[in-house]
Structure 1
Amino acid sequence: MIDDKKQEAIGLRAMGTGFVAMDVVEGLEATFASAGGSCGNVMALLSWLGWDSFPVARLGCDEPGDFVVHDLQFDGVKTDFVWQEQSVSTPVVVQKFKVDAEGHRSHRYVLTCPDCGGWLPRFRSTTIRQIQPVLDSDCVPDIFFFDRVSPSALKLASWVRESGGLVLFEPSSIGDESQFQKAIDVCHVLKFAEDRLGHINEIRDLTGPNLIIQTLGPRGLEFRLGWDWFELDAFEAPYFLDAAGSGDWCTAILLSELGNQGSMNPVSWTPRLISDALRRGQAAAALNCGFEGARGAMQAADKDAFMLAVSDLMAGKETSVERLTEGKAEPRVNLCSLCKIVPFSTGKDAETA
C-alpha cells in the first residue's frame, strides 16, 4: 500500500470515519444544505480530486440521512459503508454568519434548533459489529482519516496501518485520554487546530506521529517533521465570504499530493515535500474562502480552473473567484423546522432525479 513509486490519483483509495453530518448554511442570498462534517468533507474532496473514497459512518433513517447519502453519492463518494438505522438520528449543524463593527465576516456553528431551541442530533460512532464487513472486505485503503476517537475508529486505523496504509488523525478534542493516546500511537500524521488543542503544550512534543501539523487560522500553520518545526504563512484570500472548511481543504490536498507523488511512506518525507503539499492545501483553502460553505468552491467551480487558480496563487499571480464559477445550482432546504429538514427537489436533486 505505502510505496514511493509515482502514482496517479486514479486507483488510489481513501477511507475515513468520524463526523459526517448535514450542514445547513444560512448564506447571504439563500439557505442551502450540503453533506459535511470533517470526515464527510475530506472524503468528498478526495473523491473530487480523483480518489475512490469510502466514509465509514452511522446515520439515521431520516430526511437528513437520505440527503447526506444522496449528496455524497452525487460527488462520487462510495457509500458502501454508510449505514442508516432507526435507532439514531443524523447529525445536523447550522452555520450562521456575523459581521463585526469593522465589516469582517465570520461564521459560527449552532447545534440547537433556531425554532424550538432543542438540541439537534449529535454524532454517533459506528460499532465494532458494524465495521466487521469493512475489515472482512478487500477494500484496504491507501490512506485512512479519522477525526473522532472510538473503539471502531481505532480498530479501523490499526487495520489500515497494519496493512501498510497511511493514517491521519485530526482531533477536535481529547476526550478519554487513554483512547486518545491509542489514536496518537496508531497515526502517522497528527493535525490539529490551535484554537481547539493549542492550549495543551504537551501535544507539540508527542512522540509517535511522523508529522505533526498545527493550524493557526489566519496566521498560517506550523509543522513538525522529525523534531524540527517549520512555519508557513497563510495566503490572503482573493475574495472572502466564508472560512469554513479551510482545514478540511488543507488535509485533503495534503493527502492527495502525497498520493499523487507516490510519497505515502513517511520515510520518504522531507521538509520541502511536506511544505509544498501543505502550501497547495493552504492556497486551495484561501480560494474556497470566496464561496459559502465548507466545500463551496468544489460545488460551484470547475475543478481544472480551480486547480490552475491554486497554482497561480502559489506563484503570486492574480486570480479571481468569478472566473472559477459555472453558475451551478445549490441544493436548498426548507427550514420549516430544523428538527426535520426536508430537501427540495432542486439543484443537485433535480440533476439526479
Structure 2
Amino acid sequence: MKQLEFSRESPRPAVAGTGLTAVDRVYANDYSAPTEALGGSCGNVLLSLAMLGHPVFPVVNLGDDDHGRFLFNEFERGGCETRYISRAHTGSSPVIVEIVDTTSATHHFTTTCPQTFVRFPKWRSIDRDHVCQAAETLKSVSVFYADRVSESIILAMEEAKRASALIFFEPASADGELFARAVRYATVIKLSDDTVGKSVADDDLDPRTIVIRTHGARGLTVSNGNVRRYFPSSVAPRVVDTCGSGDMVTTGLLDLVLKRWYRDGSWKVEDIFDGVEVGQRLAALNCGFTGARGLFQAAGASHVRDMLDRGLDEVSTAYWTALGSCDR
C-alpha cells in the first residue's frame, strides 16, 4: 500500500475546526446542582487540543447571549485563538443536557431543560462570510476538523484540503448531497456503528480515505485501502460516565499526529493507527469522571499533557490513584 504523507511548512502544526459547540449542562444524581462546561464534539476536541498546547482556531457561530459569552470565554481561557468565533446578535447558543446516573454509569441527553421544560436553541452553521474571514488561516493549518455539514462548512473543508491539510470528518448524520460532498474532502472519516456507520459502507468511500469505525464498548476498526486493523477498547480503571469517550479518542489521536508532525514535518498513516490506541486509553481514563472532558476538569490540562507525553501505559495507574475521588 502506498503510504500517504503530506508536508507542511508551519513550525507548529495548527488546527482549525467547525461544528457543534454547545453548553453541556450536566445533572449527576442531583437535579438541583447542575454543572456547565463547553461541549459538543467540535467544541470538546478543539478546546482539549488547545489545552494540550496546540495552536487552535475555532471557526464557529455562537449567539450573543449568556451561553455564547460563556462558550467564548471557555475557548479563550483554554488557549484558543478566538478571532474567528462569531457571536450573532440575532441568535442564541445551543445547550445540551446530560443526565447521568453515576451508580449505573448510564446517561441520556436532551435539548429540553428538565426544570423549565423550555427547548434550547439549535446549532447554527457558520456562513460564507466566516469562511472568507478565516480563509488565510484555513490555507495554513495542518488539520481541519468538522462534525457537521453545510454549504459553508464544505467550502471551509475545500479551502483547507486545497492547502493539503488533513481533513478529519466526524459526521453526525449521512443524509443528502452535502454529506456526499463532504466525504470527498475527508482524509479521515470517523463513523459510529450506532449512528452514521449504519448507512455508510466502505465501498461508498474513496479507498484512499482512512476510515475509523467505532463499535461502542467493543473498540474500533481502522481501514485504509486493503489494510484493516481492529483495536479493542482499553479497560477503564473506573466507570462513572462514558460521555465524551469518542471525543477523547479523537483528541488523543490528533494530539499524537500533531506532535509527530511537529517533529517530522509530515504525518503518516501509521500515526493514525498509533493515535487511536492513545485516544482509547485517554477515553478509558476519562470514563472515571462526569462530563465529556471530566478528566481535564478534575486533573488539569498540564496533568493530562504530562500523562500523554510520558505514555499512558506507564503512568496511568499511578496518576489515577493520585486523582482520588471521581465524584465530579
311-320 or 19-28: bigger deviation: 311-320
Q: Retained in 1: the 8 A contact 2:207–2:225?
A: no
| CA shift in 2, pair 1:227/1:245, >3 Å | same
Residue 210 (structure 1) shift: 2.5
Using a 3 Å threshold, how does the CA distance of structure 1 residues 11 and 307 change in structure 2: closer, same or farther? closer
Mapped partners of 1:26, 1:61: distance in 2: 25
Aligned CA distance change for structure 1 residues 241 and 265 (closer, same or farther; 3 Å): same
Task: Show CA shifts across 1:117-172 (max 9, x none).
Answer: 23211111011123211115587211000000111111111101111211110001
Find the aligned partners of 2:214 and 2:306 in 1 and give their Cα distance.
24
Name structure 2 gaps, 5 residues minimum.
none
Amino acid at match of 1:20: T
Alignment deviations for residues 278-323 of structure 1 (CA, whole Å, 9 cap, x no partner): 1111000100111111111112214454355566653597445341
Aligned to 2:67: 64
1:185-206 Cα distance to aligned partner (Å, 9 max, x none): 0010000111112322525652
Encode CA deviations 1:53-85: one digit per residue, 9 max, x unaligned.
111111111110011111111111121111111
- Sort the Cα spacing of 1:209 and 1:20 in 2 relative to 1 into closer, same or farther, 3 A: farther
Q: Which moved more, 1:183-192 or 1:312-321?
A: 312-321
Give the AA of the match of 1:70. N
Change (3 A) 1:225 1:136: closer
SS of the residue corresponding to residue 241 of structure 2 reads coil
Once the two structures are superposed, what CA deviation does each residue of 1:225-271 show, in whole Å capped at 9, x if it has no partner? 222221101011111111111111111221121121127856x323x
- TM-score, with structure 2 as normaliser: 0.88
Residues 23-38 of structure 1 mapped to structure 2, 5 A cutoff: 23-28=24-29, 30-38=33-41
Amino acid at match of 2:19: G
Corresponding residue number in structure 1 for 2:248: 249
1:89–1:121 contact (8 Å) kept in structure 2: yes
1:52 to 45, 50, 55: 55
Secondary structure at 1:321 match in 2:
helix
TM-score normalised over the length of structure 1: 0.82
Alignment-mate amino acid for residue 140 of structure 2: V
The Cα shift of 1:26 comes to 1.0
Q: Conserved in 1, the CA contact under 8 Å of 2:14 and 2:142?
A: yes
How many residue pairs get matched? 318
Cα distance change on mapping 1:89 and 1:225 into 2, 3 Å: same
Give, in whole Å, the separation in 2 of the partners of 1:131 and 1:193.
Answer: 28
1: CA distance between counterparts of 2:76 and 2:316? 35
Distance (whole Å) between structure 2 residues aligned to residue 17 and residue 237 of structure 1: 30
In 1: Cα distance, 2:324 partner to 2:210 partner: 35
Match in the other structure for 1:21: 22
CA distance in 1, matches of 2:147, 2:60: 12
Q: 1:209 to 1:124 in 2, by over 3 A?
A: farther
Contact 2:29 2:101 in 1 (8 A): no
Backbone CA RMSD of aligned residues:
2.7
> Aligned with 1:54: secondary structure?
strand
| Amino acid paired to 2:26 | V
- Tell me what 1:75 maps to: 78
Q: Call closer, same or farther: CA 1:322–1:175 in 2, change over 3 Å.
A: same
Question: Structure 1 residues 2, 50: closer, same or farther in 2, change over 3 A?
Answer: farther
